Amino acid sequence: MSKASSYFKGLFWGGLIASAIVLLYTPYKGEDLKARARDYVDNVKDEVKEAGEAKRREMEDELAFLRSGKS
What are the residue boundaries of the structural domains of the chain, listed by start?
2-68
Q: What is the pLDDT of residue 19?
A: 87
φ and ψ at residue 38, rounded to 5 degrees: -60, -45
Q: The pTM is what? A: 0.53
Q: What is the pLDDT of residue 26?
A: 79
Distances (CA, A) of 70 to 49, 55, 60, 62: 31, 21, 15, 11
Q: What is the pLDDT of residue 44?
A: 94
The three-state secondary structure class of 28 is: coil
Q: What is the pLDDT of residue 1?
A: 55
